[in-house]
């Protein structure tokens, strides 16, 4: 793949606007030196409009000056500002070719049979179908119900194996989490563990004190007779 977009048109511009040699232009434009010479003589690319490589960012003015000062110098394109163009994230429904659309009910039946944990919106996004179509296949009200057979969507070419594995794994994790939460709710609130409290040690004031004989007779004397 050529490193510049229009090699011959760029060569025309360099011949008309610089004093670079045919070899330098041929090396930069990935052309044969004789072809560049033919362009200069009007034998090749006659009446072709030149393409400015400086304006397109394929060459800098400083690089051209270096090449004009040294016939042995080979021109180099500047480093691209972006190594790769980021792919936009797909947000809408997947586009399915017309030739593949008739296979979508088979893929829907496969999901219903083998992965009921996957929701209708997830199926819809993966294979580019509608919720009404999914519901008609599930309720067996689809117009082609007698001919619908569960078939892996990867086999049908509606998605890649990586996309399918990712969806199944994500749905399984979500289902396991929901099951765990449901079991916790059914079990009810857990009782807090009661920590036993050790009794406080008895002091001398808490223990009964033995009375002396004098105290016993003194109290006896204070008691009133029952007959009074």
Instruction: Copy the structure tokens of residue 112.
Output: 């219903």
Which H or E run contains 203? none
Number of H helices, E strands in the chain: 10, 0
Residue pair 80/88 in contact by the 8 Å Cβ criterion = no
- Give the residue among 136, 215, 219, 125 at the shortest CA–CA distance from 163: 125
Instruction: Copy the structure tokens of residue 131.
Output: 């919720």
pLDDT tens by residue, the chain, 228 residues: 447 788 899 999 999 999 999 999 999 998 999 999 988 888 887 778 888 999 888 889 999 999 999 999 999 988 766 555 555 555 555 555 655 668 899 999 999 999 888 999 999 898 888 899 999 999 999 998 899 999 989 888 888 889 999 988 888 888 777 777 777 777 665 555 566 666 656 555 555 566 666 666 666 555 555 544
pLDDT at 1: 40
Which residue carries 């199944």 as its tokens? 168
Burial of 14 (0-12, 13-18, 19+ CB in 10 A): buried
Q: Tell me the C-alpha distance between 186 and 173, whole Å.
A: 20
pLDDT at 134: 92
Write 154-162 long-range contacts (CB < 8 A, 24+): 156/100, 156/103, 156/104, 156/106, 156/107, 157/100, 157/103, 158/94, 158/96, 158/100, 158/103, 158/104, 158/107, 158/126, 158/127, 158/128, 159/94, 159/126, 159/127
pTM of the prediction?
0.41
Per-residue model confidence as pLDDT tens digits over 28-65: 998 999 999 988 888 887 778 888 999 888 889 999 99
Q: Tell me the C-alpha distance between 117 and 169, whole Å.
A: 10
In this structure, how many other beta carbons lie within 10 angstroms of the beta carbon of residue 18? 16
Burial of 175 (0-12, 13-18, 19+ CB in 10 A): middle
Q: 19: alpha, beta or left, given left = phi > 0 and alpha = psi -120 to 50?
A: alpha
Domain ranges of the chain: 7-69, 98-186
């Amino acid at each position: 793949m050529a490193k510049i977009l229009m090699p011959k048109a760029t060569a025309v511009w360099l011949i008309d606007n610089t004093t670079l040699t045919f070899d330098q232009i041929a090396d930069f434009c990935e052309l044969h030196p004789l072809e560049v010479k033919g362009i200069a003589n009007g034998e090749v690319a006659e009446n072709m409009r030149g393409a400015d490589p400086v304006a397109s960012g394929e060459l800098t003015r400083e690089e051209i000056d270096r090449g004009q000062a040294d016939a042995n110098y080979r021109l180099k394109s500047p480093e691209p500002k972006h190594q790769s163009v980021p792919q936009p994230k797909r947000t809408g429904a997947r586009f399915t070719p017309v030739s593949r659309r008739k296979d979508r009910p088979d893929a829907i039946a496969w999901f219903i049979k083998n992965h009921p944990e996957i929701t209708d919106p997830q199926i819809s996004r993966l294979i580019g179908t509608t919720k009404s179509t999914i519901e008609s296949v599930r309720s067996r009200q689809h117009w082609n119900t007698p001919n619908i057979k569960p078939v892996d969507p990867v086999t049908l070419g509606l998605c890649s194996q990586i996309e399918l594995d990712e969806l199944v794994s994500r749905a399984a994790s979500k289902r396991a989490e929901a099951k765990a939460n449901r079991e916790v709710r059914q079990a009810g609130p857990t009782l807090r563990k009661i920590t036993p409290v050790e009794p406080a040690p008895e002091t001398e004031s808490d223990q009964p004190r033995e009375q002396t004989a004098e105290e016993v007779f003194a109290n006896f004397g204070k008691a009133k007779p029952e007959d009074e």
